[in-house]
Amino acid sequence: MSRSGNRVLWTDRRRRTKRIAVKSNILVPFVLFMLFLIGGSLFYVWSRIQVIQLGYEISNALKQERALTEENKKLRVEIATLKSYARIEKLAVEELRMAKPKPDQVIVIR
């Protein structure tokens, strides 16, 4: 076969444009549907990732709360220990060389 046998000598341009128009009428809604589907899927995945991330943040905040509560309890025990009258009296007598006042040295103020 020669090359000239494969040539198209005549085309109907009106027919071709109608086919393209028909394809574009179907193509636009399909593309819009696919974009909507892809957008919805991406939104769903993003929202699930946000939920998981917020779950981790809540878990970390609760862990931090427990640690701070435990530290608060320890500090309250330490405060109670440091405020105890027995400890203060012992420090006053041993380190500061103080003595208990005699009954005639005590003045009661009302």
Query: Residue 25 has what pLDDT?
Result: 79
Instruction: Considering only residues 41 and 13, tell me which one the structure prediction assigns the higher pLDDT.
Output: 41
Res. 26 pLDDT band, cuts 50 70 90:
confident
H/E stretch holding 15 reads helix 13-83
| % of the chain surpassing 70 pLDDT | 78
The rounded mean pLDDT for the chain is: 87
pLDDT tens digits, 39-68: 999 999 999 999 999 999 999 999 999 999
Residue 31 pLDDT greater than 80, yes or no: yes
Residue 17 pLDDT greater than 70, yes or no: no
Query: Residue 85 has what pLDDT?
Result: 93
The domain spans of the chain are: 14-105
At residue 61, the 3 state secondary structure works out as helix
